[in-house]
Structure 1
């Protein structure tokens, strides 16, 4: 966490207080938190359920019941109050997974975090997001390719996401800043524990041209088990992940596997034959776990960015659709997508906004896709062509 000019601290919001507290209990992870929320309706309700009702919730045994109703509850509420006051003082946003500002791409994931600590200016729900990851022992070749990738996609103004680590990560952040792009660093520590400290100046710049993001509470040190957890946020926050350099084992390959598991696109940059820094990338490509990256157009085509506005920045004239050309249900979907003004919509949101069943919505979208009116994107998202 870096200095902020925010000094006015107000009493904690009651709803946020209980939401933050719910994430601070020992041995209660994101999935169980969602289970509790689905039965309790709100974090405040969950933390005030009597033992008898708690025991009726699937997955809640005597040990968990004791945690939620005993001294741990008082401790969690106190920690939550302290965290909220510290966050407000330092200009940090606390984003519970039910917040409208919580990244929509992460909400779709079964293992998504339930609370994020965010300091910065970037919109975490930007239309185009790209993760660039790689080895900490980057070569000159890797750093050069990272800069070329960022420069090559700069006209699309994507949000560049990485892990603020040595090597490829920091090269991606610095290249984005150089190109005037927003860039977010996902941390494996609390926001007040900047790691590595050598990247402090870059991190300070990112706060005004991107931001810093973590799921870990204030004061969390860089424990080695936090990094794989951090990597799932990098993978889930983005439409695609580019692995620039990676050895046969390492965090970049974990991120690539996670992205693939989330049905996100993965690309890998081939390197010089015999280079240990590129062995992981070559394995990804050979095993068809990543598409081969050779030029920025590979990213544009794989992520469907080639359907975006012309690079001149001149918007296309809005299309006019005649209701007579569609069934009533199809026209409902087209109307919802048109109201999105070029933004992608998730299948669940489309079904809800059009007031149609999920299976009906999916079938109608497929028909519209065959008519080249709708484009399907990774992660069950759709946009008008």
Structure 2
């Protein structure tokens, strides 16, 4: 059921202008979670596809909500990897339309189990000038912006411009020469930061608070990435069980959620 947002969303104050209207379908409790925006090309290379999926899955397991725009490519990968229950999609159409049609099943799942937002009234079709407006909302909702693949003069670069104007940190993947040229250029200019270690990156943001999705005391503790020795002393039986089940992994003598 489509309904108007009747409460204030503080994150959207970062926008040039707070939206006159906002509509939603789904679970607005997700707006209270820690959120990271992830955007990128509709045609990412295989490396970007794999890393986007792995990163979003790890962030979601750490209780961080993923925000993206529902487009084909990086957006769809991010939503699917996070899982519908832990993702916010910002639409560029009215919520009675599911665009793009190829992502209909993904969008329906997010409507039911996650959250879909739009600043456009029912009946609004996909129009070119809607997308920059949609992108600004995506960026504003995230504590930081991650770009996993971007071509020069792409819509993704508009999102980066929004983030930089808002004073948000922007992270990219380091690509080979000739690939994701826009994000590589930003990296060479020192305007963004690179993600080299997924677990270390996730740990930066997961450590702020233990989310409801990780209510288990042991898993909350693992979010802090303790040393294996410390974890073994505190939870001698659970550490072995979690390692065998694949819930955690030990890297460089530290504990990480998988």
Q: Could you say whether these structures have the same fold, taking a TM-score greater than 0.5 normalized by the shorter chain as the test?
A: yes
How many residues are paired up?
A: 216
Alignment partners' CA distance in 2, 1:114 and 1:288 = 35
The match for 1:165 among 67, 71, 92 is 71
Q: Give the C-alpha shift of residue 210 in structure 1.
A: 1.1
- Asked if 1:262 is matched to 2:166, the reply is yes
Alignment partners' CA distance in 1, 2:14 and 2:129 = 23
Kept in 2: contact 1:149–1:295 (CA 8 A): no
Kept in 1: contact 2:171–2:195 (CA 8 A): yes
Pair member with larger Rg:
1
Kept in 1: contact 2:59–2:65 (CA 8 A): no
- What SS does structure 1 have at the residue aligned with 2:158? helix
Q: Give the C-alpha shift of residue 148 in structure 1.
A: 1.2
CA deviation vs aligned residue, 1:308-352 (integer Å, no higher than 9, x gap):
349784279xxxxxxxxxxxxxxxxxxxxxxxxxxxxxxxxxxxx
Alignment partners' CA distance in 2, 1:299 and 1:254 = 25
Kept in 1: contact 2:93–2:99 (CA 8 A): yes
Alignment partners' CA distance in 2, 1:181 and 1:300 = 21
Q: 1:110 to 1:228 in 2, by over 3 A?
A: closer
Q: Which moved more, 1:189-198 or 1:108-117?
A: 108-117
Kept in 1: contact 2:63–2:210 (CA 8 A): no
| Match in the other structure for 2:42 | 136
Q: 1:283 to 1:138 in 2, by over 3 A?
A: same
Query: Where does 1:173-184 land on structure 2 (aligned, <5 Å)?
Result: 173-177=79-83, 181-184=85-88
The match for 1:280 among 182, 187, 197 is 182
Kept in 2: contact 1:160–1:181 (CA 8 A): no
Alignment partners' CA distance in 1, 2:143 and 2:163 = 9
Kept in 1: contact 2:12–2:141 (CA 8 A): yes
CA deviation vs aligned residue, 1:34-83 (integer Å, no higher than 9, x gap):
xxxxxxxxxxxxxxxxxxxxxxxxxxxxxxxxxxxxxxxxxxxxxxxxxx
Q: Give the C-alpha shift of residue 288 in structure 1.
A: 2.0
CA RMSD, 1 decimal:
2.1
| Match in the other structure for 1:307 | 208
Q: Give the C-alpha shift of residue 216 in structure 1.
A: 0.8
Q: Give the C-alpha shift of residue 114 in structure 1.
A: 2.0
Identify unmatched segments of 5+ residues in structure 2: 222-258
| Match in the other structure for 2:105 | 201
Tell me the TM-score normalized by structure 1. 0.53
Kept in 1: contact 2:65–2:88 (CA 8 A): yes
Alignment partners' CA distance in 1, 2:4 and 2:177 = 46
Q: Which has the higher contact order (CA 8 A, sep 6+)?
A: 2
- What SS does structure 2 have at the residue aligned with 1:131? strand
Query: Where does 1:289-368 land on structure 2 (aligned, <5 Å)?
Result: 289-296=191-198, 297-301=200-204, 304-309=205-210, 313-314=216-217
Alignment partners' CA distance in 1, 2:47 and 2:141 = 27
| Match in the other structure for 1:153 | 59
Kept in 1: contact 2:40–2:73 (CA 8 A): yes
- What SS does structure 2 have at the residue aligned with 1:125? helix
Kept in 2: contact 1:104–1:125 (CA 8 A): no
Q: Give the C-alpha shift of residue 138 in structure 1.
A: 1.7
Query: Where does 1:5-84 land on structure 2 (aligned, <5 Å)?
Result: none
Alignment partners' CA distance in 1, 2:61 and 2:98 = 31
CA deviation vs aligned residue, 1:59-110 (integer Å, no higher than 9, x gap):
xxxxxxxxxxxxxxxxxxxxxxxxxxxxxxxx21202xxx43x322113434
- Asked if 1:92 is matched to 2:2, the reply is yes
